[in-house]
Amino acid sequence: MSDFWIKAIQLILSLSFLVVIHELGHFTWARIFKVRVSKFYVFFNPWFSLVKCKRINGKWQFRFFAPNTPDAFKEQLDAFGNPVLDKKGNPVYIPMTDEEIAQLPDDDWRKYPDNTEWGIGWLPFGGYCNIAGMVDETTSSDQLGSQPQPWEYRSQSAWKRMLIISGGVMVNFIAALFIYGAILYHWGDYVMPVNKAPYGLYYAPTMQELGFKNGDIILSLNNQPIDDYEIGDFLYDLLLNGEQEALVQRGNQQLTITIPKDYGQVFMSHQAEGSPVQFAMPFVVDSVVPNGPAYYANLQQGDQIIAVQGQTTLYAQDVKKELSKYSCDSISITYLRNNEQNTAKTFVGDQGLLSVTFKNLIEPQKIEYGFWQSIPAGFKLGWKTLVNYVRQFKLVFTKEGAESLGGFGAIGSLFPSVWNWHAFWTMTAFLSIILAFMNFLPIPGLDGGYFIFLIYEVITGRKPSDKFMEWTTNIGFLLLFMLLIYANGNDLYKAIFK
């Protein structure tokens, strides 16, 4: 299976899981307050569903590859029995009364509105639940009856509606905390403080322009020691804390380098560089793939590559960078074997690879967690992840941040090209944090938008009209759709032109 499909499958599974539990959060609070939920779907189901089921008279009924069940609506008639038309000349539909629903045939699922229709759609992105009496992307104000019913969302008190609306965000955030806890319990954690890097740090060109050199060790930022900083924590402070003074150890001397206030934006405009800081490490061969370039160069386990085509390569990152310049070409490689320098020639393929694995000479400390220890540790990690994400969100509103926005392609690229459960669940927990935060932004159409209107209602005592909610929701979804097109367009542009 290709790298693309492995990443795509992981992305679809992760996002689908997160959207389903998000919708379950809304569903659970709705049912606690006895609000009807007419449909709950995994994936979307335009025109038909792969499978759907409903519990009727104590028994589950299933239908496969079935057309969508029509809503319990009827044409609105005027006093003379003629269909009422809207401004575009289309018939106007209104909800059927309970008496009319009761007259439907027994095999018509609309006759049992208290029971939720569960299903799986064929469009593999996300899912939804349809809450009765709520104006959202599935229901317009015209589809609501003139009189609110006790089993509708709009009939509930404001505090109940707040819980229904925020249920999805709460579930996503809590799920992330528990996933992090489970990861720590099952796999533990590996830590390597930045200032304890055995070979120093490797710096991106934008960092080198500030005065850093590969191999430097950063001891403090603004006179604050970074004794316990892992690489992720350090990068957040590096990119987000504005102007800083970095105390650097270079060989036997210490010097101070200024990191400018706008470095986060500068780096975002050079994202092709990768991470601004990595752990530096020599390129020492661990194994050689038979019949590959390294095999024909007679490289062996333990050899350290120190130059490619005459260019000195002190670190593994240097080796990879130099090799990429000579795809489909014959090159010379200089290496150390038993402290003796040797040179060999070989031919590298179109990807500029030697077909070797190199030894990971950095040994981080592993921290084991018992069951009860993993719970608070997972909560702490989830909260730290949320705080760091909120801190970096401000960069979105810069020119560089807007240009770096990515869609499904960018998210999918974060997953590894080989299946790895640790990486999958780590990314899923991170995306769950993002989904919780983004959904609670005060934008109409998102949970946060509904929540803002509920706060307005509590403060003023005035409830926005259903028509107003419909208009704001449509505007919000238009903006979100435009943002989705822009972000995925960015992915496409980078894939073609960069």
Which pLDDT tens digit goes with each residue over 4-37? 788 888 888 898 899 999 999 999 999 999 999 9
Please give the pLDDT value at position 429: 95
**Domain locations along the chain:** 1-33+156-188+371-498, 37-152, 194-279, 283-358
Spatial contact of 257 and 211, defined as CB atoms under 8 Å apart: yes
Q: Mean pLDDT: which of 111-115, 197-201, 375-379, 395-399 is highest?
A: 375-379
Q: Mean pLDDT: which of 79-88, 258-267, 339-348, 357-366 is highest?
A: 339-348
d(CA 429, CA 179): 6
Asked if pLDDT for residue 494 goes beyond 70, the answer is: no
Asked if pLDDT for residue 51 goes beyond 90, the answer is: yes
Q: pLDDT by residue (tens digit) across 391-447? A: 777 777 666 556 666 666 667 777 777 888 999 999 999 999 999 998 998 888 889
Q: What is the pTM of this model?
A: 0.81
Q: pLDDT by residue (tens digit) across 224-235? A: 887 777 777 777
Fold type of domain 194-279: Pdz3 Domain (2.30.42)
d(CA 6, CA 366): 28
d(CA 123, CA 464): 34
Fold type of domain 283-358: Pdz3 Domain (2.30.42)
- 315: DSSP letter: S
Please give the pLDDT value at position 326: 82
* Local confidence band at 65 (pLDDT 50, 70, 90 cut-offs): very high
d(CA 189, CA 378): 11
Beginning with the edge strand found earlier in the chain, give each strand of the sheet holding 37-44 in spatial order. Answer: 59-67, 48-56, 117-120, 37-44, 123-131
